[in-house]
Amino acid sequence: MKPAPFDYVVPTSVTEAIRILAGANGDGKIIAGGQSLIPVLALRMSRPAVLVDINRLHGLSAITSLDGQTVRLGALVRHSRLIEQPYHGLLAEAARWIGHTAIRSRGTSGGSIAHADPSAELPIVAAVVNATIHVAGPGGIRRQSAREFFTGALETTLAEDEMITAVDMPIPDRWGFAELSRRHGDFGLVTVAAAEIRERWSVCVGGVGSVPYQCAEAEELLNGGGAKAVEQAASAIAAGITPSDDIHATADYRRAMTEEFTRRALRQATAGNQKGTT
């Protein structure tokens, strides 16, 4: 298949990109890495009138450590660079699981967050650390927490005339990451990220719902400590999810694997994955 006809525009600033999107009246799309958009265009599942190529926008490719507590990712930071950065161990580990080398060399941080696939690694990490997402629009820059930004499978609060410019990822003091996929490079059937930030635990599971799943009961068990906290938290998370049967796995299988991979991520975290280690 070939994409339907479209106009192709290369803006020189974020302001110009927003103006073009606003002028497209909901019929414009941003393209950066194109790893999610191009297949959709080729199948004509999306037919935008305008493609706005933001690859040449200055200042969106930086990775910056903010006071050693947070890492700011420009929207154009490629997945391969996430693996190499020394500041955020959880982010580096999660990025290793994204697709294949070709995908990691082109795919962008902002694109993955905006696409909001509930099985994708970066939305799960963003949710577990409650990242702050910087969004540019006609009214300027707004900031929103990741847990509010993701509203459903492939759905966010991003308006048609807005674009992500940066994502601030708090750095966990301890972390764990575990993913189950049938083949290397596939999306995870179950992906679990755990993070302790300022002595408070957070756990998110991807692949089991329309957004990364969090379980307040499990997190309270972890925050309370105790010898059985990991086992109890893993059981609570598995009991709280409502996965569906699909061509990849049954709901019962996903529930069982959620418990097992939550256990693995938490054991990894409590065994000593520290801030800045990969």
Q: Which candidate, 181, 191, 166, 1, places its Cα nearest to that of 71?
A: 166
Q: Point out the domain boundary residue: 144, 170, 196.
A: 170
pLDDT band at 185 (very low <50, low <70, confident <90, very high): confident
Q: Is 117 helix (H, G, I), strand (E, B) or coil?
A: coil
Buried b (16+ CB within 10 A) or exposed e, 77-98: bbbbbbbebebbbbbbbbbebb
Residue 276 scores a pLDDT above 70: no
Amino acid at 49: A
Q: Tell me, yes or no, whether 166 and 71 share the same domain.
A: yes
| DSSP structural state of residue 244 | -
Residues 94 and 118 in one domain: yes
Average pLDDT over residues 32-58: 94
CATH number at residue 48: 3.30.43.10
Do both 234 and 250 map to the same domain? yes
Q: What is the reported pLDDT for 2? A: 87
With cut-offs at 50, 70 and 90, classify the pLDDT of residue 35.
Answer: very high
**pLDDT (tens digit, 9 = 90+) per residue, 129-170?**
999 999 999 999 999 999 999 999 999 999 999 999 999 999
For residue 278, being part of any structural domain is answered with no
Q: What is the mean pLDDT of residues 255-259?
A: 98
Q: Tell me, yes or no, whether 112 and 197 share the same domain.
A: no
| Assigned domain for 140 exists | yes
- Of 149, 170, 191, the position where a domain reaches its end is 170
In a domain, 1, yes or no: no
Looking at the domain assignment, is residue 237 inside a domain?
yes
Average pLDDT over residues 242-257: 95
Task: Report how far Cα 111 is from the mean position of its chain's Cα atoms.
Answer: 9
pLDDT at 275: 74
Q: In the prediction, which pLDDT does 227 show?
A: 85
Q: What confidence category does residue 277 fall into, taking pLDDT thresholds of 50, 70 and 90?
A: low
Give per-residue pLDDT as tens, 201-233.
999 999 999 999 999 999 999 999 888 999 999
DSSP E strand boundaries for the chain:
7-9, 28-31, 50-53, 63-66, 70-74, 132-137, 140-145, 150-152, 155-156, 163-170, 174-180, 190-197, 200-206, 213-214
* Whole-number average pLDDT of the chain: 95
Q: What CATH number has the domain bearing residue 79?
A: 3.30.465.10
Distance CA 245, CA 229 (A): 29
What are the distances in angstroms from CA 245 to CA 186, 205, 254?
A: 18, 17, 9
Q: Which tokens is 255 given?
A: 């529930």
Q: What backbone torsions phi and psi does residue 141 show, to the nearest 5 degrees?
A: -100, 130
Q: For the residues 173-200, what does the mean pLDDT come to?
A: 95
Please indicate, yes or no, whether residues 180 and 221 belong to a single structural domain of this protein. Answer: yes
Look up the pTM and report it.
Answer: 0.95
DSSP-assigned letter for residue 173: S
Instruction: State the first-to-last Cα distance of the chain, in angstroms, to the nearest integer.
Output: 41
pLDDT tens digits, residue range 62-95?
999 998 999 999 999 999 999 999 999 999 999 9
Contact 30, 54 (CB under 8 A): yes
* Last residue of one domain, picked from the residues 170, 195, 210: 170
Give yes or no for residue 272 having a pLDDT over 80. Answer: no
Please check whether residues 179 and 255 belong to one and the same domain: yes
Both 211 and 119 in a single domain?
no
Q: Which domain holds residue 22?
A: 7-53
Express the helix, strand and coil content of the chain in percent, nearest 5 each. 35, 25, 40
The yes-or-no verdict on residue 278 having pLDDT over 70 is no
CB neighbour burial string for 58-74, b if at least 16 within 10 angstroms, e if fewer: eebbebeeeeeebbbbb
**Shortest CA distance to 164 belongs to which of 156, 153, 172?**
156
